[in-house]
């Protein structure tokens, strides 16, 4: 019952908010990263707002003049010819890019989880096949050994059969080691055991959907937008600025025993500054080139992702062709198995022949399941390459 609930719970992960397979500490890292992104966004968004400066000073000069001053001053740009708007736009673009990148990182974790599970289940099938193959090797050894003892066999064939069995045993050890490695890799991401996680059935995604929602393309577009806002910010830095200046406070001056107090001191004013920078042209040009380069990167990403999609579709087509060939082989072995079974019953076929054919038939049936896993692994790549709502 417990496993059944887990299967229902986790198989819905992709479409459900708040459901996680990750270790709690990874979830905490993800949350802290998101909070950090939001904090940086608030800082960048309000970067154009100047602080209020509090000051306290006291001084004494050689002419016995003594003064004290306390106050608050504020100097703020009120117009930058678009600079303020560009600063806010840049902060929003940067935030969007970082949050999308964080989603991609989270998606990559789940892609790894499901891929490791598919690898483990693939190895389990391969171990079953290896077990059947090992049985066949044992039968071949018995056959060759019997022939050799009767004088009709060849020691070379017997030796080859024994070596083939040893190779098969070594292969099984390698498969078991691979399964343990994948289980360890899986544990690095999730505390939940492989057999407690139900795999969703991944389906083919249309090319249009794949390109439109592709993470790589989206991130390239967002990076392009960041470069554009940086270009606008750099341009606006060389435009005239209108600045509001203000100061309010308390002032006390003592001169030869006479004290003057001004407890309502203030000043207000507006200033216009026009920056002249000999590096203006090169600075703007470098930002412009970075923006144009990012536009080309987006084109490159589109070409790359279209090629990846085509390659995956081709690979899936190949596996389906292999499945069709395997189905034909299964039909053929099914007929051979039936005739061998009849021959065994009437005595003109040996039990060895029947067992070898039966094992080979089982191996081919497992091949069908293996090809299905290969297809799912390809569809998995498509599924996690796109951003979902």
pLDDT for res 61: 65
- Tens-digit pLDDT profile for residues 228-269: 999 999 898 888 888 888 888 877 777 766 667 667 777 888
**Closest of 60, 66, 70, 53 to residue 251, by C-alpha:** 70
Helices vs strands, H then E, count in the chain: 8, 4
Distances (CA, A) of 203 to 22, 106, 145, 378, 389: 24, 21, 50, 10, 17
Structural domains of the chain, with CATH: 2-47+80-238+275-383 (1.20.1600.10)
Task: Compute the average pLDDT of residues 299-326.
Answer: 97
Q: For a pLDDT cut of 90, what percent of the chain falls above it?
A: 58
Retrieve residue 329's tokens: 């082989």
**Between residues 38 and 272, the one the model is more confident about:** 38
The pTM is what? 0.83
359 burial via Cβ count (<10 Å: 0-12, 13-18, 19+): middle
Residue 340 neighbours by CB under 8 Å, 6+ apart: 349, 353, 354, 357
Residue 1: pLDDT above 60? Answer: no
- Residue 100 near residue 387 (C-beta atoms within 8 A): yes
- Tens-digit pLDDT profile for residues 182-225: 999 999 999 999 989 988 999 999 999 999 999 999 999 999 99
- Tens-digit pLDDT profile for residues 10-61: 444 433 345 689 999 999 999 999 999 999 989 888 877 778 787 777 776 6
The DSSP bridge partners found for residue 79 are: 242
User: CA 131 from chain center: how many Å?
Assistant: 37
- Tens-digit pLDDT profile for residues 114-134: 999 999 999 999 999 999 999
Q: What are phi and psi of 12, to 5 degrees?
A: -95, 5
Distance CA 195, CA 259 (A): 87
- The H or E element that residue 262 is part of is strand 258-273
- How does the average pLDDT of the chain come out, rounded? 87
pLDDT for res 372: 97
Residue 226: pLDDT above 70? Answer: yes
């Amino acid at each position: 019952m417990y496993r059944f609930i887990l299967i229902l719970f986790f198989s819905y992960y992709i479409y459900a908010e708040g459901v996680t397979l990750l270790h709690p500490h990874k979830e905490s890292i993800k949350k802290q990263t998101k909070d950090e992104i939001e904090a940086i966004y608030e800082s960048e968004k309000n970067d154009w707002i100047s602080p209020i400066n509090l000051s306290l000073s006291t001084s004494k000069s050689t002419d016995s003049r003594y003064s004290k001053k306390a106050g608050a001053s504020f100097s703020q740009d009120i117009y930058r010819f678009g600079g303020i708007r560009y600063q806010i736009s840049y902060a929003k673009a940067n935030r969007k890019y970082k949050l999308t990148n964080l989603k991609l990182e989270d998606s990559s974790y789940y892609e790894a989880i499901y891929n490791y599970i598919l690898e483990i289940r693939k190895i389990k099938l391969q171990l079953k096949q290896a077990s059947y193959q090992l049985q066949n090797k044992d039968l071949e050894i018995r056959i060759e050994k019997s022939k050799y003892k009767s004088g009709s066999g060849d020691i070379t064939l017997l030796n080859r059969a024994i070596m083939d069995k040893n190779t098969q045993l070594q292969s099984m050890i390698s498969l078991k080691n691979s399964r343990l490695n994948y289980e360890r890799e899986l544990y690095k991401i999730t505390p939940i055991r492989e057999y407690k996680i139900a795999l969703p059935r991944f389906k083919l995604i249309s090319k249009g959907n794949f390109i439109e929602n592709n993470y790589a393309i989206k991130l390239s577009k967002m990076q392009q937008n960041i470069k554009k806002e940086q270009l606008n910010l750099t341009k606006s830095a060389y435009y005239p600025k209108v600045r509001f200046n203000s100061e309010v406070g308390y002032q006390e001056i003592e001169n030869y025993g006479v004290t003057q107090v001004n407890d309502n001191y203030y000043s207000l004013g507006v200033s216009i500054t026009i920056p002249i920078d000999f590096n203006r042209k090169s600075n703007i040009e470098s930002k412009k080139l970075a923006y144009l380069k990012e536009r080309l990167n987006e084109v490159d990403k589109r070409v790359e992702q279209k090629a990846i999609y085509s390659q995956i579709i081709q690979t899936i087509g190949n596996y389906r062709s292999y499945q069709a060939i395997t189905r034909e082989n299964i039909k053929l072995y099914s007929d051979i198995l039936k005739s061998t079974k009849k021959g065994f019953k009437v005595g003109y076929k040996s039990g060895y022949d029947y067992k070898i054919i039966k094992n080979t038939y089982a191996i081919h049936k497992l091949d069908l399941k293996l090809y299905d896993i290969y297809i799912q692994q390809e569809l998995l790549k498509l599924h996690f390459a796109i951003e979902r709502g």
